Amino acid sequence: MKKIISFALFLCLSVCSFLSICSENVFAAESISKKQWIEDINYMAKEFVKTHPKLEDEKTKDEFYNQINELIESVPNIDDEKINIGMRKIIAYLEDSHTDVHEAFENVFPIHVEWLKDGFYVKLTLEEYNQALYCKVAKIDGIEIKEISKLLETIIPHENSVVIKKRVQKYITSPELLYGLDIIDDKEVITFTFENQEGKQFDMDIEAIDIKSIKEMKFVGNQNKNIPLYMQNIKENYWFKYLSDSKAIYLKYNRCFAMKDKSIEEFIKEVFDVVDSNQVDKFIIDLRDNPGGKEGTMHPLFKEIIDRDHINKFHKLYVIVGQYTASSAAINSIQLQEYTNAIFVGEPTFTKPDHYGAISEFVLPNSKLEVTCSTKYAELSKIFKCVSEDDKSFMPDVIVENSIEDLINGRDAVLDSILRNQE
């Protein structure tokens, strides 16, 4: 009974995760005139030039204004979707994932897609499209997914390939963006081509739905009762478990914020009470799903680890990073690399070591679109010896990626590789 309850909770949380992706910053651009769009574009340009560090360079600023002027000249002859695409292309020129226009579109194709090792796979969908579950997305309206990714890349502000993958998996479910890039002609129904586990491709027509109606719909997701540790307790900012069979501490750090019901000090005490009363052969910190927050939140834990020689050892201390490790969590990864003897396992991080950040926000006066803009450039390569200015991501020592087979069977290839390591 306990496993059934756990599975139900996992599926519920997976749906909530999908909903949060679809409804992030829930508003759509208001219907406005061409003149108002031009006012918004000029307003955006003024705010960026005033705020973004990259535009302090005169050559970069001149090219930025050239793109702004080209878009303004085209506004009378294009529709709202094309104007939106034009604005996104200009923002993408800044190559800064923290600087973007945030718009929750009115409609979405009801599939939750995620990059796994060798492609984009359907992780969650409506019951009527259940055949597509766990299948790889091969084409959209006859266009190969690789070509679609290249087109979407032009509107994605990015510093590395990880950011592109994370954005593409979201944007391929947006009728407005696909239409604006001339990938599809019909925003209501499009044909997805999926590839199943046997390598056979099949077409499926999927109808766009109103985002507001998603909460009332029934979704299907992971059917496996064995939920990997990294997918458990996803609402907790931090938690841990002693794995008695492996004599390992597994500590999951999901968000860089202290919890109201358990302070950092209480948490650290609980962790090391277990460490001190059990044999611990491995101490594993999992940052793979941490998007950031307050960078210093877990510094007391890191200090405790550094001070304990029996924990801070090569082949005893491990840190897991991944494609969702961003912002403050990525900085924490670099700090742990610099000051501990940890082995890093997983995938390259979302955030590059030297990156733009400290975002400000403003709202365009007519369309009411919310825009974020970085105000500072952090040069961590000048502080930490373990990274360089040329690094596009923080790279783990050992690359291990979860596959669609791992998802289906409830496995975690990353954690398994650490637990199997007997050196």
Residue 76's domain spans which residues?
1-219+358-374
Domain contains 138 = yes
Q: Report residue 156 as tokens.
A: 């994605």
Q: What is the pLDDT of residues 211-268, one digit of tens each?
A: 888 777 878 876 666 899 999 999 999 999 999 999 999 999 999 999 999 999 999 9
115 and 250 belong to one structural domain: no
With cut-offs at 50, 70 and 90, classify the pLDDT of residue 190.
Answer: very high
Same domain, 2 and 134: yes
> Which residues pair with residue 357 across a beta bridge?
376
Q: Please identify which residue in the block is written with the tokens 């000029």.
A: 42
Q: Do 214 and 250 reside in the same domain of the chain?
A: no
**Residue 209's domain is classified under what CATH number?**
2.30.42.10
What pLDDT sits at residue 23? 44
Look up residue 391 and give its DSSP letter.
-
Tell me, yes or no, whether 158 and 32 share the same domain. yes
Using the predicted structure, report yes or no on whether residue 187 has a pLDDT greater than 70. yes
Q: How far apart (Å, rounded) are the C-alpha atoms in residues 314 and 334?
A: 16
| DSSP strand pairing (282-286 vs 354-363) | unpaired
Contacts of the segment 145-153: beta carbons below 8 A, 24+ positions apart: 145/119, 145/120, 145/172, 148/172, 148/178, 148/183, 151/181, 151/183, 152/177, 152/181, 153/92
Residue 12's pLDDT band, with cuts at 50, 70 and 90, is: very low
Instruction: Please give the average per-residue pLDDT across 111-129, as a whole number.
Output: 94
Start-to-end C-alpha separation, the chain: 38
- Co-location of 88 and 138 in the same domain: yes
| pLDDT at site 222 | 66
Q: Are residues 168 and 239 in the same domain?
A: no
Provide the total of helices (H) and of strands (E) in the chain, helices listed first: 12, 18
Residue 19's pLDDT is what? 47
H/E segment holding residue 241: strand 238-243
Domain annotation covers residue 379: no
Do 296 and 159 sit in the same domain of this protein?
Answer: no
More confident of the two residues 215 and 54:
54
Average predicted confidence (pLDDT) for the chain: 91
Residues 294 and 275 in one domain: yes
The total domain count for the chain is: 2
pTM > 0.85: yes or no: yes
Residue 388 lies in a domain: no
> Is pLDDT above 80 for 91?
yes
pLDDT the model gives residue 291: 94
User: In this structure, what CATH number is given to the domain that contains residue 319?
Assistant: 3.90.226.10
Q: What's the Cα-to-Cα distance from 21 to each of 14, 79, 109, 376, rounded to whole Å?
A: 11, 26, 12, 26
